[in-house]
Structure formats: structure tokens, C-alpha cells
Structure 1
Amino acid sequence: MFYQLRVAREKDGDVLEAFLKQAKTSYEGVKEGFTQFLMLEDSEKNIAGCLGIEKISCDQGLLRSLVISDKLHQGHIVTLFQSMEVLCEKHQIKTVYLVANQHSSADFLTAMGFERAESVPEELFSSDHFCESRQTEGAVLMKKASG
């Protein structure tokens, strides 16, 4: 099946929020616009996957709300992450953080260039998503710096 990757627009807010709710993941800030999302859509314009970035300082961001339908495979996930790197560069985000809540995802993220963060930047505590995510048992903060 064919999938199109694109940056979510303001008019996508309701559909994106519904997709995140269905996946039982955080949808806070989707419609407020302080998080930018990449979306993978199928040929019928249904969302099949998404990944968001919340800018937490002038050069730091928090990846959030990675949701992938069972139709997608690992190559699609890699494409989402690579495309997010381009979006981060465009917005001068040099260090990206994320909270991994499964051991298997931590292995994948390490392969994508992320490493366990040794400390938690104060700016992350301004993110409700971060504060909520770190409460998950086994949650690990990871980061990736560019350049």
C-alpha cells in the first residue's frame, strides 16, 4: 500500500487528536499548535502513523506521541524519524529528547542514534507530556544531539 508523509496542518487537528485518542496516547497540545506532527496517510487519507515534536527551548525538542498502525513496518518508522530530523533542523532544534517506555523501543532508538540521557534539562519539566510520560514504569529518557 502507498503512504504519503506530510507535516500536519492546523485543519488536521481534530483527525490527529482522534487518532491519538484511539491509540490511548497523549493528545494534549495537538490543536493548540505548540507541537508539530508528521503524519503518514494511506491512499484514502486515513492516518496510519504519526510522530510529534514539542519545542521546549530555542534549540531543544521533545519527541512525542509516536503512533504506528499495524499496517506499517519498521521502514516506515525509520522514515518518520529521518523526516523528523529534517523538520528539527528547519526549526533549529539541535538536541531532541524522548521518553522510551519499552525496552524493545530503547534498542531501536539506540540504533537510530539516541543515547540514554545522563541528566534531565530543566526545560523538559515545562512539558506536561514529559511529566506524564516519565511516570510510566521503566521509562527511560533518551536524547540525540545533531552536529
Structure 2
Amino acid sequence: MFYQLRVARDQDTEALEAFLKKADTAHAEIDQQISRFIMLEDSEKKIAACLGIEKFSGGKGLLRSLVMSDRLNQSHIVTLFQSMDVLCKKHEIQDVYLVANQPSSAEFLTVMGFETCADVPDELYTSEHFRNSLCTEGSFLMVKTTA
């Protein structure tokens, strides 16, 4: 199947929100951050995957709302992360944080350039998504510098 990768637009807000709700993933304030979401669409223009970043002051950002269709494979995830690097540079985000909760995902994220992070920047606590993610059992913070 053919997939197209692109940055979300205002008219994608409703479909993206529905996609995230269906996956039981945080979808608050999507409309305010739509230009910082990457979507992978199938040949029928249905969302197959997405990844967003919440921007903070000081060139910091928090990856959020990674949702993948079960039809996709690891190479699609790599493509999303590589595209997010480009989007982060466009939005002047140098330090990219994420909250993970599976040791197996930490191995993959390390290959993608992330490392575990003990110091949490105060800015991240302003994010409801971040605070909720930290409540997940076994969660830990990782960071990658894209500069």
C-alpha cells in the first residue's frame, strides 16, 4: 500500500482528533498545535500514523501522540521520527523530549538518537500531556538534541 507523509493542516484537525481519540491517546489542544503534527496517510487519504510535538520556550519540545496503524512497520516509525527532526528545525526546537514507558522502546529510541534524561526542564510541567504521561507506570524521560 502507498503512504504519503505530510505536515497536518488546519482542515485536518477534526480527522486527526478522531484518529487520536480512537487510539485512546491525548488529543487536547490539537487545534492549537496542528502545524506541528506529521501525518502518514494511506492511498485513500485515511490517517495511518501521526506524531506531534508540543513547543516550549528555550528551544524545547515534547514529542506526543505517536499513533501507528497495525498495518505499518518499523521503517514507517523511522520515517516519522526523521521527518519530525526536520519539522523541529523549522520550528527552532533543539531539545526534543519524550516520555516512554517500555524498556523495549528505549532501545529503538536510543538508535534514533535519544538518551535517558534525569533532569526535567520546568517548562515541561506546564504541559498536561507531559504530566499525564508521567503517571504511567514505568515511565521515563528521554531527550535528543537536534541542533
TM-score band by shorter chain is over 0.9
Letter in 1 for 2:81: F
- 1:102-131 CA distance string (max 9 Å, x none): 121111101101000120000000111000
Supply the distance in 2 between the matched residues of 1:35 and 1:57 (Cα, whole angstroms): 17
Answer with 25-34 or 96-105: which moved more. Answer: 25-34
Question: In the alignment, is the contact (CA less than 8 A) between 1:34 and 1:55 conserved in 2?
Answer: no
Q: CA deviation at 1:31?
A: 1.7
Question: In the alignment, is the contact (CA less than 8 A) between 2:6 and 2:39 conserved in 1?
Answer: yes
Match of 2:130 in 1: 130
Supply the distance in 2 between the matched residues of 1:62 and 1:35 (Cα, whole angstroms): 14
Q: CA deviation at 1:56?
A: 1.4
SS at structure 2 position matched to 1:71: coil
Alignment RMSD (CA, Å): 1.1
Supply the distance in 1 between the matched residues of 2:106 and 2:28 (Cα, whole angstroms): 24
Q: Which runs of structure 1 show a deviation greater than 2 angstroms over 4 or more consecutive aligned residues?
A: 32-35
- Structure 1 residue 144 corresponds to structure 2 residue 131: no
Supply the distance in 2 between the matched residues of 1:108 and 1:64 (Cα, whole angstroms): 16
Letter in 1 for 2:115: E
SS at structure 2 position matched to 1:119: coil
Q: How does 1:8-23 map to 2 (within 5 A)?
A: 8-23=8-23
Match of 2:97 in 1: 97
Q: CA deviation at 1:34?
A: 6.7
Supply the distance in 2 between the matched residues of 1:136 and 1:143 (Cα, whole angstroms): 18
Supply the distance in 1 between the matched residues of 2:29 and 2:104 (Cα, whole angstroms): 27
Gaps of 5+ in 1: none
SS at structure 1 position matched to 2:30: coil
- 1:26-58 CA distance string (max 9 Å, x none): 001112337721000000000000000000114
Supply the distance in 2 between the matched residues of 1:51 and 1:33 (Cα, whole angstroms): 11
Letter in 2 for 1:128: E
Match of 1:78 in 2: 78
Supply the distance in 2 between the matched residues of 1:10 and 1:146 (Cα, whole angstroms): 26
SS at structure 2 position matched to 1:32: helix
Question: In the alignment, is the contact (CA less than 8 A) between 2:23 and 2:67 conserved in 1?
Answer: yes
Match of 1:45 in 2: 45
